[in-house]
Amino acid sequence: MIEVKDLHKSFGEVRAVNGVSFAARDGEITGLLGPNGAGKTTTLRMLYTLMTPDAGQVLVDGHDATADPSAVRRRLGVLPDARGLYKRLTASENIDYFGRLHGMPEALLRDRREALIDALEMRDIATRRTEGFSQGQRVKTAIARALVHDPRNVLLDEPTNGLDVMATRAMRHFMRQLRDEGRCVLFSSHIMQEVAALCDRIVVIAHGRVVADETPDALLAQTGEPTLEDAFVKIIGTDEGLAA
Amino acid sequence: MKAFSAVYWKEVRENLRDRRTLINALITGPLLGPVMFIMLMNVMVNRELAKTDRPLSVPVIGAELAPNLIAAMKSASIDPAPAIDDPEIAVREQRTDVVVRISPDYAKAWVKGQAVQVELIFDSSRRDASAPVARVRSLVEGYGRREGAMRLIARGLSPTTAWPVQVAYRDQATSQSRSALMFSFLPYFFVLTVFLGGMYLAIDLTAGERERQSLEPLFVNPVPRWQILAGKLGAICTSSLVSLLLSMAAFATAPWFIPTEKIGIALDLGWRFASQVVLLMLPLIVLLAALQSLVSAFAKSYREAQTYLSILMIVPVLPSALLSVVAIRAEPWMYAVPLLGQNLGIVQLLRGDGMAGWQIGLCLGGGLVAAVVAVWGTALMYRSERLAISG
């Protein structure tokens, strides 16, 4: 369960996030939709404690991100915008490194790593060094290392960015699997189809503010538009920066 | 502790797989100093040798006018070569180091007992010619003095009438301290080794990680950033320590390649010397690792960090350069200044004087304080929001 209350963050003159509030519940996929530059990545960075909000509060399973960042980080699995892997380590070693940083015992780490390698269908690349990995292979490795400590809450920043059709399908399948395990899944995207296909709940962000926070059906009913795409355009007021 | 060892071992393992880092830490860094040292020392030793016994061939103009002078030159193994037409040009064009020109009225003036002129044509701006010039000059002057003494004796006077003051040289240099004079630049090589040994790791672990965008995911782990920094610093220090140890081992073999005994200097680079140098360098290892990480943290890319660090590399030269140009009397406070203290201490060890306990204490203490400040500054830098954001 992730609760965000009235977040603000400015970089100099630029108000990147200007009063964002929403909640992402366990057992649901929540989509953070917005055009490029709407403040999605900054919001997520405050969620996973990389940045401190100027004002507002982030609660993860009831833990305050500013007061107790370590507790929050332990409860989060994060695929950040930056997905750098260690190219001189194998995929498995990359995963192990993060598991050890979480202080996992070696036996548990091994079981969990092997389970993730199977779930993400990356057995063939597990013992290869990550140098020269394709975009899809890199994302799989980055997700596996983000989830190795079995977090209740999963944050994914543009998880399908740069993936081909097959990899995107696999990724969506995996996200549904995470939801069905009862986890709270929050991801950001600027691709409407993706949000429409996956989300139980959609939070639309534009110009640093939440402009809608509904289920897909409610969103259609509220705007009176026939498709989600039209509904988004109507809410945001423009289709700039969005992709179908 | 668990996080520290996770970071430390991951960095060690990852960088053992990187050829560039390995070559720098294990080959270039440790061997650069000893190889340069041996080459420089051989040049210097050969020049010292040239000052003494080696036969020297010097063109003499008007040799037939002064057969006795020529004989004196020959007995000091300075061989008179045939006269050349253009002595000034020959010296300027470096065809010869020095030319002796005996004035045409030499014989006539000599017989009359008048002063005669012998010209030495040379170029004082050519350092490599200074040894031959000095040899010829001292021979001609010595010859003149001897002949003068003979004339005084012939007139029934004591030679001391003309030279009431006699200079007597009492050189207190030991063979080891003489060598220390020549080795005053040696401490810089040790500092350079430590610097190079950790440099690539420091860049890779901060600027490199940032450039590859892996710093953001790393910082999302529930580990305080100072612990991550500690693991990284540990890996950098290990690398530079290994470099230093290899370098010391290479230096220990240096006396085999330098004919020190020929010029009467002693060179003791054995394990006793090595262990004391390593002890003195310990705070510098931590200090440099922290400084390198700090500087790299300001850089957005590997290349940028490399540029900054090559500028930083000049800093450790300063004390060595200062000490080899200006003769400074070591004041107690100087031992507490990082780099300067190590410089003084290592030169002292080379001289065979040893170091007093308080000197070692000041050296380690001063270095340690600087290292703590540098680590603390780097830790502050690591806490900044800006550091993790690659974009």
Nearest CA in chain A to B228: A101
- How close is the nearest chain B Cα to the Cα of A237, in Å? 28
Residue B221: which of A81, A89, A101 has the nearest Cβ?
Answer: A101
Mean pLDDT within A88-102? 95
Residue A80: which of B6, B13, B216 has the nearest Cβ?
Answer: B216
Domain ranges of chain A: 1-75+152-244, 85-150
Domain ranges of chain B: 2-46+176-388, 52-170
* Options 3.40.1710, 3.40.50, 3.30.70, 1.10.1060; CATH of B52-170: 3.40.1710
The predicted pLDDT at position B231 comes to 96
DSSP designation for B82: P
Prediction pTM value: 0.81
A70: chain B residues, CB-CB within 8 Å:
222, 224
The predicted pLDDT at position A240 comes to 61
The predicted pLDDT at position B241 comes to 94
Pairwise CB contact (< 8 Å): B6 & A88: no
Pairwise CB contact (< 8 Å): B217 & A145: yes
- How close is the nearest chain A Cα to the Cα of B385, in Å? 6
Pairwise CB contact (< 8 Å): A49 & B6: no
Pairwise CB contact (< 8 Å): A86 & B2: no
The predicted pLDDT at position A191 comes to 83
Structure confidence by residue, pLDDT tens digits, B227-255: 999 999 999 999 999 999 999 988 888 87
A36-40, A63-67, B62-66, B185-189: which has the highest mean pLDDT?
Answer: A63-67
Residue A84: which of B13, B18, B214 has the nearest Cβ?
Answer: B214
Environment class of residue A185 by beta-carbon count within 10 Å: exposed (0-12), middle (13-18) or buried (19+)? buried
The predicted pLDDT at position A241 comes to 59
Quick one: which of B331, B328, B330, B294 has its CA closest to B309? B294
CB pairs A-B closer than 8 Å: 84
A83: chain B residues, CB-CB within 8 Å:
213, 217
Residue A103: which of B2, B216, B391 has the nearest Cβ?
Answer: B2
Q: What is the overall mean pLDDT for chain A?
A: 90
Q: What is the CATH number of domain A1-75+152-244?
A: 3.40.50.300
The predicted pLDDT at position B264 comes to 67
Question: Is pLDDT of A156 > 90?
Answer: yes
B224: chain A residues, CB-CB within 8 Å:
70
Pairwise CB contact (< 8 Å): A81 & B212: no
Residue A88: which of B3, B17, B389 has the nearest Cβ?
Answer: B17
Please list, residue by residue across B360-374, b when 16 or more beta carbons sit within 10 angstroms of its beta carbon and e when fewer do: bebbbebbeebbeeb
**Is the Cβ of B14 closer than 8 Å to some Cβ of chain A?**
yes
- How close is the nearest chain A Cα to the Cα of B266, in Å? 47
Q: Which residues of chain B fall short of a pLDDT of 70?
A: 48, 50-53, 173-182, 260, 262-266, 324, 327-328, 390-391
Residue B216: which of A82, A87, A102 has the nearest Cβ?
Answer: A82
B18: chain A residues, CB-CB within 8 Å:
88
Pairwise CB contact (< 8 Å): A50 & B220: yes
Pairwise CB contact (< 8 Å): A103 & B3: yes
For chain A, give the DSSP string.
Answer: -EEEEEEEEEETTEEEEEEEEEEE-TT-EEEEE--TTSSHHHHHHHHTTSS--SEEEEEETTEETTT-HHHHHHTEEEE-S-----TTSBHHHHHHHHHHHTT--HHHHHHHHHHHHHHTT-GGGTTSBSTT--HHHHHHHHHHHHHTT--SEEEEESTTTT--HHHHHHHHHHHHHHHHTT-EEEEEESBHHHHHHH-SEEEEEETTEEEEEE-HHHHHHHHT-SSHHHHHHHHHS--TT-B-
Percent of chain A exceeding pLDDT 70 equals 97
